[in-house]
A and B are shown apart, each in its own frame.
Chain A
């Protein structure tokens, strides 16, 4: 997509094609793309995500052939897919668990980007497109979860659409517009199906832009040091097609474990009850990949503030390239940043745990605690408040301040130098003044 092309058309038909539609050149350049030779397995998640998207689109289109998007027929058509359609159970379980696998992969991909500073100049736009993909994925997954039209589908849809109702002035008419009625109902289901079918193709388009934006500066790499010359790179094919292929295979084994041995582990039993607008399930939780945001929403006793904080939690991810003041890309050479990063990963998991529990439930069983403000100090609501505070502090305090104050370790001279010299010499033998490097 950029840089000089190495392609030489050899046959007459290739030469004929090359001046009309250089599609062979495009493919060859894509496969020949010079890729840093030190990418580790954390870099294989891009390929894994491409696999996830294709797998979700293929299984989704098949499910669409058997699904009936109507208030009366949706639940039964999903039951028919599970019981009557040939291999319907398999395709639906792949699709339902595939959504979770997609999020596992995207979260690892995002944490990798944060750790190795992949969002820093000149890759800010690459990061923003990635964030847009993540946001579209969330919308797609949410609307997909509504389609089986069980109790969790219905009440999940109701709670999430009501979040927009918290906005002042436009809130109520906006929710009515989203619903096409006075509440979540059959018209809501139909439009969600339409959009659930559309958005994966929007994601595919954004992925195209993401890869384009990646191929202009090229991949970052675990050292964060820029590629200096050809000796730092290898062609994408066969080196990374094989490495990514191996990673996808391992990923599919884990995926298959869920599909075949615990297909309902990530779901919720209440979704086997048809949607009932009169009864809310006793314990309502979103899918696991939304739990950290859900915990932030519930941490605040005020409706609008909760919704705004949840939005801000996502906005922080978008703003990261401009919040980070450090000029050292990789946290390999930022020991303090590394510490805060791992606390941040733990914090996100902790928020997820809080989101899965009732706010008033004791965090440590058997300890009575005491009341602080409106709730017991030993309750999930207080844990989620502390965790939400760290989440925001990581973005708006730690990341900007640390970049200005820390003393980074010396980064290697080039990608090749730590490989060529003894591994132990990688840190000590390198030239100082890392702040002069990108």
Chain B
């Protein structure tokens, strides 16, 4: 207050730096307020609590016969539970050091001692379609949308997809029961 009295007593022209300060302060406060209220309007589109609550499932893999695959719904997406034959495993291991787009060994994609069980998210890493088993040159999965081909370890071998079929976070709770997510 003392300064403002002193300023106004000196001459009646406004102090430009003080005018600038109040302009900047007002604009900053308004911008901060707008940004703060904008976030709820943006974030409301992110997954809601009930959607997030569906994030883990349990499955007994013993239900899948040898050489077969079961597709389970996990986070509203297909989850492949494949009971691999020794031939499929051998083929996957043999290609560990082939020219891979997204290099990974077969062992890194299964749990130790459980390499007959391949658990994958059944979503093509290109544009999200669900690949079908048994198609393509590598005896793994084939995506009907844009022709991506995966091998028996779910690794990308041909086509536009950039990455291997994703292995979700899971663990064996008992000998045959897995918990995904």
> Is A187 interfacial (CB 8 A cutoff)?
yes
CA distance in complex: A240, B160 (Å): 50
| Most chain B Cβ neighbours within 10 Å, of A280, A284, A306 | A280
In the complex formed, the residue of B with least CB distance to A178 is B45
> Is A3 interfacial (CB 8 A cutoff)?
no
Asked whether A163 lies within 8 Å of B127 as measured between CB atoms, the reply is yes
> Is A183 interfacial (CB 8 A cutoff)?
yes
> Is A169 interfacial (CB 8 A cutoff)?
no
CA distance in complex: A301, B161 (Å): 8
Asked whether B145 lies within 8 Å of A159 as measured between CB atoms, the reply is yes
Asked whether A183 lies within 8 Å of B123 as measured between CB atoms, the reply is yes
**Smallest CB separation, B137 vs chain A (Å):** 12
CA distance in complex: A282, B146 (Å): 10
A37 contact set on B, CB distance < 8 A: none
What are the interface flags for A271-314 relative to B under an 8 Å C-beta threshold, 1 for contact and 0 otherwise?
A: 00000011111111000000000000010111110100000000
Asked whether B129 lies within 8 Å of A306 as measured between CB atoms, the reply is no
**Smallest CB separation, A207 vs chain B (Å):** 27
> Is A43 interfacial (CB 8 A cutoff)?
no
Q: Tell me the dominant secondary structure on chain A's binding face.
A: loop
B55 contact set on A, CB distance < 8 A: 182
> Is A177 interfacial (CB 8 A cutoff)?
yes
A277 contact set on B, CB distance < 8 A: 73, 76-78
Asked whether B76 lies within 8 Å of A183 as measured between CB atoms, the reply is yes
> Is B139 interfacial (CB 8 A cutoff)?
no
B9 contact set on A, CB distance < 8 A: none
On chain B, which size bracket covers the interface? Answer: 20 to 34
Interface residues of A in 411-426 (CB under 8 A from B): none
A306 contact set on B, CB distance < 8 A: 160
What are the interface flags for B25-63 relative to A under an 8 Å C-beta threshold, 1 for contact and 0 otherwise?
A: 000000000000000001001111001000100000000
Asked whether B75 lies within 8 Å of A182 as measured between CB atoms, the reply is yes
**Smallest CB separation, B173 vs chain A (Å):** 22
Contact of A162 among B48, B75, B127 (CB under 8 A): B127
Asked whether A359 lies within 8 Å of B147 as measured between CB atoms, the reply is yes
> Is B162 interfacial (CB 8 A cutoff)?
yes
B143 contact set on A, CB distance < 8 A: 280
Interface residues of A in 2-34 (CB under 8 A from B): none
**Smallest CB separation, A79 vs chain B (Å):** 23
Asked whether A183 lies within 8 Å of B46 as measured between CB atoms, the reply is no
A304 contact set on B, CB distance < 8 A: 162
Contact of A155 among B46, B129, B159 (CB under 8 A): B129
> Is A181 interfacial (CB 8 A cutoff)?
yes
B48 contact set on A, CB distance < 8 A: 180, 187
Binding site for A on B (CB under 8 A): 42, 45-48, 51, 55, 71, 73, 75-78, 122-123, 126-132, 143-147, 158-162
